[in-house]
Amino acid sequence: MVELETPQLDSVFHALGDATRRRMLRELARGERTVSELAEPFAISLAAASKHIKALEHAGLIHREIRGRTHLCRLAPGPLASAHQWLSFYEGFWTDRLDVLERLLREEDVRNPPAPKGDDQ
């Protein structure tokens, strides 16, 4: 299992902890966008959008390329895959716990079947 070192993992989850940044990443999954295009749906200033973009860049989640006066951003999915791998441990943890709970509930149903419903007519 490939794991991010703690500081990078922290910055990835910090970046993902903000709804605006998550929506920006979703938009970038559809293709590269300018800073203006990323800011547009949020009615935020370009300066505010740039702060969000810098947090995403710091986490390694996006790459920004400057072409003339235009800043183009694109998704860098590597850290997302690594974060997913880290989270998959907990997915397995909860799946195991829920499987045990399901087994216990089934055993309880076998030991104590529900009373048959009588005809109320």
The two three-digit tokens of residue 31, written as one number: 């293709």
Cα-Cα end-to-end distance for the chain:
63
Give yes or no for residue 4 having a pLDDT over 60. Answer: no
The number of folded domains in the chain is: 1
More reliable by pLDDT, 4 or 102: 102
**What DSSP string runs through 6-57?**
HHHHHHHHHHHTSHHHHHHHHHHTTS-EEHHHHHGGGT--HHHHHHHHHHHH
Q: What is the pLDDT of residue 1?
A: 47
Residue 119 lies inside a defined structural domain of this protein: no
Residue 89 lies inside a defined structural domain of this protein: yes
This prediction has a pTM of 0.71
Residue 115 lies inside a defined structural domain of this protein: no
Residue 118 lies inside a defined structural domain of this protein: no
98: enclosing H helix or E strand: helix 78-111
Summarised one tens digit per residue, pLDDT across range 50-92 is 999 999 999 999 999 999 999 999 999 889 888 888 888 888 8
Residue 64 lies inside a defined structural domain of this protein: yes
CATH number at residue 47: 1.10.10.10
Q: What is the pLDDT of residue 121?
A: 55
Mean pLDDT of the region 23-51: 93
Question: Which pLDDT band holds residue 119 (cuts at 50, 70, 90)?
Answer: low
Residue 46 lies inside a defined structural domain of this protein: yes
Give yes or no for residue 6 having a pLDDT over 80. Answer: no
Residue 61 lies inside a defined structural domain of this protein: yes
Residue 33, beta-bridge partner list? 73
Percent of the chain with pLDDT over 70: 93
Domain that holds residue 63: 1-110
Identify which of 88, 21, 29 has the alpha carbon closest to the alpha carbon of residue 51: 21
